[in-house]
Chains A and B, each alone.
Chain A
Amino acid sequence: MAIRRWSDRLRQELRRRRLPDDYVERLVAELSDHAADLFQENLAMDAEHDLEKRLGTPQTLALAAESEYRRRTFAGRHPIFTFIGGPFVAVFAMVVGTVTIVLIASALVDLATDGGLRANDAARNPPSAWEMALMQGLNCIVRFVPFGLSCWLFFRLAVRSGLPAWGAVACGIVAVLGFSFWAAVDQATPDAMGCWTLGFAWRADFDQAVQAIVPAVATAWLVWHALRTPAAYAAV
């Protein structure tokens, strides 16, 4: 009975620290085996108190387990590098990657339409409605995908490493970068060529705010998650 009660308390404590279920179950199983061996060796030992004296309290063990679990991951060993430097690198790489994919996609469309996109000319052959819709769609991909993907990456990393506070910092950086990024497609007019412009600038308009929504929601969730995590590990 003492082993069962002690194991249940340990399991509860490990789950409270958001450690993965498979890790929790394996640790509890091995410690229960260890406790059974202790009882077998020392028949006079039958109280939960004795078990805590030998194995450690559930709180102490959960703290040690969380600490060791964090050391297993690169993010856990190098949180500043990962969660502060990482978002800048990830967003930059994903913007470049997405733009490259979009350019390849538009080149393929151009090829499929026998040079239809290149033939556009503001005065004589303006882009059709579907061509404009296509360009706006591709522009939306560039506006949202890099920030959504970067946010997902750091969110997963933070949850897997048990570092919600650091994850909130990373997603917050992605949200700020999303809010600073702008991309727009201008339709060609008889007086001016059409153009696609991309860049980082604080224009603080609605479109930029929309780009930051996903990372901002992730940041808020991780902050809430961090506040619910035991204090010793909630702090950045």
Chain B
Amino acid sequence: MSTKKTNPDFLNGVPELLVLRLLAERPMHGYDLVRAIGTESGGKLEFGEGCIYPILHRLEEGRFLVGCRESVGGKTRIVYRVTRQGKKRLAESVAQWTDVVAAIRTVLEGGEHGDPAVV
């Protein structure tokens, strides 16, 4: 797996969005979540898998997630679930991301002739 350079400002909030989105579907532990990101993105999103944990801990601290130690396949793992506050945050992040995508599409399709997008 190669180290990819990203624009942290531009992609700010994307890992959080993915984590909330996938955990909203079903509770998962870190390893499961990393695999889900790989599967759901068709293997297009690659990153240092360990970096997911600090994000999970921050979201847990912000009460967007709760983590509980549970038995999973005979092993004890911390399983994360989205809280009501997390679902609200997810809805906001999805709306924001949709606006960004729409704005970029407008620019790529010749924005000066189209309606300006509000981001």
Is A bound to B?
Answer: yes
**Interface positions of A (Cβ within 8 A of B):** 23, 26-27, 30-31, 33-34, 36-38, 53-56, 60-61, 64-65, 67-69, 71-72
Chain B residues 44-78 with CB under 8 Å of chain A are 48-51, 53-55, 57-58, 61-62, 75, 77-78
Asked if B78 and A30 sit within 8 Å, CB to CB, the answer is: yes
Check if B11 is an interface residue, CB within 8 A of chain A.
Answer: no
Flag if B58 contacts A68 (CB, 8 Å): yes
Q: Is A68 in contact with B31, judged by CB distance below 8 angstroms? A: no
A-B contact count (CB 8 A): 63
Q: Are A34 and B50 in contact, with the CB atoms below 8 A?
A: yes
| A33 and B50 within 8 A (CB) | no
Q: Smallest Cβ distance from B37 to chain A, in angstroms?
A: 13
A53 touches B1 (CB 8 A): yes
A37 / chain B contacts, CB cutoff of 8 Å: 31, 75
Name the B residues within 8 Å of A34 (CB-CB): 30-31, 34, 49-50, 53
CB distance from A51 to the nearest CB of B (A): 9
Cα distance A48–B54 when bound, in Å?
Answer: 21
A47: min CB distance to chain B, Å: 15
Query: Measuring CB to CB, which residues of chain B are less than 8 angstroms from any residue of chain A?
Result: 1, 29-31, 34, 48-51, 53-55, 57-58, 61-62, 75, 77-78
Interface of A: prevailing SS: helix
Q: Which residues of B contact A26 (CB under 8 A)?
A: 57
Give B51's nearest chain A residue, CB to CB: A64
Q: Which residues of A contact B61 (CB under 8 A)?
A: 72
Q: Can you list 24 pairs linking A and B with CB atoms under 8 Å apart?
A: A27-B54, A27-B57, A33-B29, A33-B30, A33-B75, A33-B77, A34-B30, A34-B34, A34-B53, A37-B75, A38-B49, A55-B48, A56-B48, A56-B50, A56-B51, A61-B50, A61-B51, A64-B50, A64-B54, A67-B54, A68-B55, A68-B58, A69-B58, A72-B62
